[in-house]
Structure 1
Amino acid sequence: MYEQISHSLLNDILNRIKPEFYEEDLRHFYTRLGANFYAIHSLLMKLYGERDDFEQHAQHLVEIMARQYLNRPKALKQKDLEREKDYNWFLSQKWVGMALYSNGFADDLNGVTEHLNYFSELGINLVHIMPIMRCPEGHSDGGYAVSDFREVDSRVGSLQDVQALSSEMRQRDILLALDVVLNHTSNEHEWAQRARSGDPVYQNYYYTFENRTVPDMFEQSMPEIFPQTSPGNFTWDEEMGRWVMTVFNDYQWDLNYSNPAVLIEMLDVILFWANQGADILRLDAVAFLWKKLGSTCQNEREAHLILQLLKDCCQVTAPGTLFIAEAIVAPVEVIKYFGEDAVIAKECEIAYNATYMALLWDAVATKNAKLLNQGIKSLPVKLERATWLNYIRCHDDIGFGFDDSDIVQAGYEPYKHRRFLIDYFTGQFDDSHARGVPFGENDKTGDARVSGSLASLVGLQYAIYSGDQEAIESAVKQILLLHGMILSFGGIPLLYYGDEIGTLNDDSYLDDPHKMDDSRWVHRPYINWEKAARRNESGTPEYLIFSALKRMISVHKEIDVFADFNNRELIEVDNPHLFVFGRYNLHRQGEEVLVVANFDAKPQQLNLEDVGTWARPQYGQYIDLYSGQTPEVFKDTLVIPGFGFYWLSGT
């Protein structure tokens, strides 16, 4: 869009820009810059327009984009052009991901490269490697306390290892996703060290205060993220002689995005990792980017403006790179991280579907789909050119932050129901085989979350330790049921490493003084490759899970209606144990799949009159696309086995 003020400024910037930029081929860069600069200028003005040094920062921003464009490898520039033409490429059902820690999965980044065949064997073609940047050994927060944004932690490898891995993955058509921690740094980061030494420039990179007056005002409205281990939101730094905002842990200093220098530094970091070969960047803790007195300091309007600005700038330099919003917030808030537009994602193309994840776990505990159905009805419709990341487990805990009104409409009392879920998954009931561990217990509110591996939470740990073969079969069925739901819902399914072979809780973290107070380490495993080899031994839990998931993923990739174009319809049925929805092709009438899931241990019935004409066979019978079998139907009643599911198509 042409607008005189912004383009006049752009002309001034380009006239002052350094001569070396004119010695290279910048045709695509200038085309994209011209197309995006009005939006970039408008966002900069909204955030920083009152500053006297506004034009200086605007010029620095353009120079950063240009310099990183010059640094971008030719292969990645070619990939940018391909993805600009095929702009819906990431909405395809062909993508199936796995999240992992490189040291837990295979010792280091070179080990991940050596195990790329494992991903191909299972059908994984998107690998999210969690934080690999340098961080302190004792206070790392699982890699999210970064002490150098451009250096790989020596314990997992080097920058050259990242480049080799990304190159090899590109040859295999496997996407690489990496983390960028936007909200904070480690207190050992160079910026923090300079702030400690008294440098006012770098003290302004953070929120620091001489006394408790302003911090106490913030505390009145800000919740505590880790009330057990890191109460409050401010930490006194003795060396600096100032209070510093530390929302997550006392060793993680929150960055001050009201300072444009911080935003430009972090844009440079984002573009740096895009240039190392990251197809997708997971932006951590985006809900916390803007701090405002009298608020929770989450989901502020300015946080969205920052993300829009980062996205617009990335589209100029590395348009083939996608953003994931790590915003574990209420559904009405999370969809805002796609951006407020009718079609195109203006902030992040991908967001975690934490609501769906938590609702699935509710169905596991209650053995019914009442809250699951109600919660999905309340899930806002996403943008057309954006997608969900659907997952069951991840490196983090499970929180049950359902909307209270949904809980009430499902027939429960909110506080008691959440307490039931916590007790169920920590094995406090006689009929619960779950072996979860509480996390983040808040004595003031009674709230808590749950840690634990997928296998341990559905009872496989109990079953194996007790030698209960029937319980093993039940746990395996639940593992497959949950994966069947994330693979058919619409979006990018994201498996968590170890779940594909039924990895149990790892209690060894209790022996590490740096980890023992953080129960999330119980589900951050070190893969035992001898155990993983049992995926080829018929009858073992590893074989049962891996082989079934391998087939499930293969079938999923062949079903066109599983692509994510807002082509899903929830179907309400009378049986409370069932979760039923339809998937359809927007362009080919009659191409439909009916998804039916039974969250009860006993077989359940579905009256096919409840689903109308969804995927109804014209002449023959239903076929379950996953198993290839014909399901049992008696007098227009479908029978679904205990903890079973169908992907039904008419023949």
Structure 2
Amino acid sequence: MYEQASHAVLNDILRELKPEIGNFRLRHFYTRLGANFYAIHSLFHLLYGDRLDFKMQMVSLVETLAVRYMERSPPLRKSDLARERDYNWFLSQKWVGMALYCDRFAEDLRGLRTKLPYLQDLGINMLHIMPILDCPPEHADGGYAVRDFFNVDARYGTTEEVEALAATLKKRDMLLVLDVVVNHTSNAHDWAQRARRGEKKFQDYYFVFDDREMPDTFEETMPEVFPATAPGNFTWDEAMGKWVMTVFNNYQWDLNYRNPAVLIEMIDIILFWANKGADILRLDAVAFLWKKIGSTCQNEREAHLLLQLMKDCCQVTAPGVLFIAEAIVAPSEVAKYFGEDAINAKECEIAYNATFMSLLWDGVATKNAVLLNQGLKHLPTKLERATWLNYVRCHDDIGLGFDDNDVRLSGYDPVQHRRFLIDYFTGRFPGSVARGLPFGENPKTGDSRISGSLASLAGLEAALESEDPTAIDDAIKTILLLHSLILSFGGIALFYYGDAIGMLNSLAYLADPAQRDDNRWVNRSYFDWQKAALRQQSGTVEQRIFSALKKMITMRKELSAFADFDNRQLVSVDNPNLLVFLRTDMHNARNRVLVVSNFNTKAQLLSLGTLRPYGLFQQEAMKELCSGERITVDNDAVTIPALVSCWLVD
């Protein structure tokens, strides 16, 4: 968009850039800068326009974009151009991801390259490597307490090996996802160390205070993220002689984005990793970016402005790179991280569908789809050029973040229902087969979240211990049911390493002093390659899970109706145990798939009366794609087997 005032500023800025920048051919850079500058200037002015150094900071920002563009390799620039032409490329149904820890899956980055055949055997073509940047070993928070944003932890390898991995993945038509922790740094980071030594410039990179007056004012409205292990939001730093904001852990210092230098530093970091070959960058803890007294310091308007700025700047230098918003927030807030408008307020193209995940687990515990159906009716609408990241498990705990009103409309009391779910998944509820652990229990409120591996939460651990074939069957069916839904719902399906072979909880973390107080490590165990080998042995638990998932993934990639173009229609049925939705190919309405999922442990009847208005079951049977079987009509209804998700076509 051309606007005279902002482009007059741009002309001034270009004259002030370092002379060496003018020696490069930057045609595409200047074209993109001109196209995005009105938005960049407007957003920067909204955030920092009252500062005396506004112009100087704008020059610094544009120089950062130009320098990183000059460093961008020809193959990456070529990829940018291709993705600009095919701008909906990531909405295809062909993308299926897996999140894993480099060291726990394959020791290091070099070893990871040798393990790619396992991923491709399953059908994975998007690899999310959990944080690999340099962290203090004793206070790493699983890689989220970064000491050096430009260096890989020596235990995993080097930045050169990241580039080698990215090149290998591209040859295999696979995407690379890397993390950038945007909310905080380790207290061992150079910025924090220099702040401790009294350098005012770097103290301004954080929230630091001489006494408790301001911290106490913030604390009046700020919730605690980890009340059991890291109560409060501020830590006294003896070396600096000041209080510092530490929302997550006392060794993680929150960055102060009221300082434009912090934003420019982070944009530089984002573009550095884009230039190393990342196709997608996962921005961690984006809901916390802007701190404001009198608020929860989450989901503030300014946090969205910062993300829009980051995205516009990335569009100038590395437009082929996508952002994932790691925002595990209330359902009403999640979709805001896509942006408010497809053109003028871009933020992140991808967001975690945490609401869907928690609703799926509710279905597992209740053995019905009542709250699942109710919650999905109110799932926020995404933008056209955005997509959900659908997942069953990840490295983190499970939060029960669905809407209280949806819980009430489903006939439950919100407090009592969450208490039931916590008790169920931690094995306290009579008859529960789940083996999870309570995480982050708040003694003041009684709130808690849930840790545990997918297989252990789904009952496989208990079933194997009891050697009960029926219980083993039910656990495997539950695992497949949940994955079937993330594959068919619409969006990118994200698997978690170990789930495709039914890996259970691991208590090995208890022997590590740095991990034993954080039971999320129960689900971060070392990948069991001996179990993985059993996927080739007929009849094993590993083979039954892996082969079924592999078939689903293969089938998904062939179904154009599963591409994510707002082409899902929730179908209301009279059986509370069933979730039913219709997926339709946007280019050919005759290509459609009816997804019917039964959360009950008994077979359920689906009346055809509610399906006929959609033109379904006009014949006497529909084909179930994964099994190849025909689902036949009997007394104007069809029978859906227990704990099964069917993909039905005419």
TM-score, reference length from structure 2: 0.99
Q: How far, CA to CA, are the matches of 2:15 and 2:343 in structure 1?
A: 35
Q: How far, CA to CA, are the matches of 1:552 and 1:466 in structure 2?
A: 29
Q: How far, CA to CA, are the matches of 1:299 and 1:333 in structure 2?
A: 7
Q: For the Cα contact (< 8 Å) 2:620–2:633, is it kept in 1?
A: no
- 1:487 equivalent in structure 2: 487
- 1:215 equivalent in structure 2: 215
3-state SS of 1:180 partner: strand
Q: How far, CA to CA, are the matches of 1:134 and 1:10 in structure 2?
A: 36
Give the counterpart letter for 1:238 in structure 2. E
3-state SS of 1:631 partner: strand
- 1:647 equivalent in structure 2: 647
- 2:136 equivalent in structure 1: 136
- 1:561 equivalent in structure 2: 561
3-state SS of 2:623 partner: strand
> CA, structure 1 residues 154+248, in 2 after alignment: closer, same or farther (shift >3 Å)?
same
Q: For the Cα contact (< 8 Å) 2:508–2:525, is it kept in 1?
A: no
Q: For the Cα contact (< 8 Å) 2:358–2:400, is it kept in 1?
A: yes
Q: How far, CA to CA, are the matches of 2:246 and 2:614 in structure 1?
A: 52
Q: How far, CA to CA, are the matches of 1:609 and 1:110 in structure 2?
A: 57
Q: How far, CA to CA, are the matches of 1:642 and 1:444 in structure 2?
A: 40
Q: Provide Cα deviations, 1:98-146, integer angstroms capped at 9, x if missing partner.
A: 0001011111111111011111111000000010000010111110000
Counterparts of 1:289-368 in structure 2, within 5 Å, are 289-342=289-342, 346-368=346-368
3-state SS of 2:639 partner: strand
Q: How far, CA to CA, are the matches of 1:347 and 1:563 in structure 2?
A: 21
3-state SS of 1:588 partner: coil
> CA, structure 1 residues 391+343, in 2 after alignment: closer, same or farther (shift >3 Å)?
farther
Q: How far, CA to CA, are the matches of 1:540 and 1:110 in structure 2?
A: 30
Give the counterpart letter for 1:218 in structure 2. F
Counterparts of 1:59-458 in structure 2, within 5 Å, are 59-342=59-342, 346-458=346-458
Q: How far, CA to CA, are the matches of 2:563 and 2:438 in structure 1?
A: 36
Give the counterpart letter for 1:458 in structure 2. A
Q: Provide Cα deviations, 1:31-65, integer angstroms capped at 9, x if missing partner.
A: 00000001000000000000000000000000000
3-state SS of 2:420 partner: helix
Q: For the Cα contact (< 8 Å) 2:491–2:563, is it kept in 1?
A: yes
Q: How far, CA to CA, are the matches of 1:98 and 1:303 in structure 2?
A: 28
Q: How far, CA to CA, are the matches of 1:516 and 1:465 in structure 2?
A: 24
Could you tell me the percent identity over the aligned residues? 64
Deviation (angstroms), 1:343: 6.5
Q: How far, CA to CA, are the matches of 1:576 and 1:345 in structure 2?
A: 39
Give the counterpart letter for 1:148 in structure 2. D
> CA, structure 1 residues 344+391, in 2 after alignment: closer, same or farther (shift >3 Å)?
farther
Counterparts of 1:456-605 in structure 2, within 5 Å, are 456-605=456-605
Farther off after superposition, 427-436 or 40-49 = 427-436
Give the counterpart letter for 2:100 in structure 1. L
Q: For the Cα contact (< 8 Å) 1:328–1:352, is it kept in 2?
A: yes
Give the counterpart letter for 1:398 in structure 2. I
3-state SS of 2:217 partner: helix
Give the counterpart letter for 1:482 in structure 2. L
3-state SS of 1:138 partner: helix
> CA, structure 1 residues 609+588, in 2 after alignment: closer, same or farther (shift >3 Å)?
same
> CA, structure 1 residues 313+342, in 2 after alignment: closer, same or farther (shift >3 Å)?
closer
Structure 1 stretches of at least 4 aligned residues deviating more than 6 Å after TM superposition: none
Farther off after superposition, 450-459 or 428-437 = 428-437
3-state SS of 1:638 partner: strand
Give the counterpart letter for 1:419 in structure 2. R
Q: How far, CA to CA, are the matches of 1:38 and 1:343 in structure 2?
A: 12
Deviation (angstroms), 1:401: 1.6
CA RMSD of aligned residues (A): 1.0
Q: How far, CA to CA, are the matches of 2:345 and 2:603 in structure 1?
A: 42
Q: Provide Cα deviations, 1:43-92, integer angstroms capped at 9, x if missing partner.
A: 00000000000000000000000000000011100000000000000000
Q: For the Cα contact (< 8 Å) 2:334–2:380, is it kept in 1?
A: no
Give the counterpart letter for 2:247 in structure 1. V
Deviation (angstroms), 1:165: 0.4
Farther off after superposition, 201-210 or 589-598 = 589-598
Give the counterpart letter for 1:36 in structure 2. N
Q: How far, CA to CA, are the matches of 2:305 and 2:210 in structure 1?
A: 29
Deviation (angstroms), 1:621: 2.6
> CA, structure 1 residues 333+595, in 2 after alignment: closer, same or farther (shift >3 Å)?
same
Q: For the Cα contact (< 8 Å) 1:350–1:387, is it kept in 2?
A: yes
- 2:2 equivalent in structure 1: 2
> CA, structure 1 residues 345+13, in 2 after alignment: closer, same or farther (shift >3 Å)?
closer
Q: For the Cα contact (< 8 Å) 1:592–1:614, is it kept in 2?
A: no
Q: Provide Cα deviations, 1:183-214, integer angstroms capped at 9, x if missing partner.
A: 00000000000000000000000000000000
Unaligned runs of 5+ in 2: none
Q: How far, CA to CA, are the matches of 2:460 and 2:454 in structure 1?
A: 9
TM-score, reference length from structure 1: 0.99
Q: For the Cα contact (< 8 Å) 2:395–2:524, is it kept in 1?
A: yes
> CA, structure 1 residues 151+342, in 2 after alignment: closer, same or farther (shift >3 Å)?
closer
State the number of aligned residues.
650
Q: Provide Cα deviations, 1:326-365, integer angstroms capped at 9, x if missing partner.
A: 0001121110000000568700000000000000000000
Q: How far, CA to CA, are the matches of 1:300 and 1:326 in structure 2?
A: 15
3-state SS of 1:253 partner: strand
Q: For the Cα contact (< 8 Å) 1:230–1:250, is it kept in 2?
A: yes
> CA, structure 1 residues 562+411, in 2 after alignment: closer, same or farther (shift >3 Å)?
same
Deviation (angstroms), 1:617: 4.6
Q: How far, CA to CA, are the matches of 2:588 and 2:345 in structure 1?
A: 25
Q: How far, CA to CA, are the matches of 2:620 and 2:79 in structure 1?
A: 45
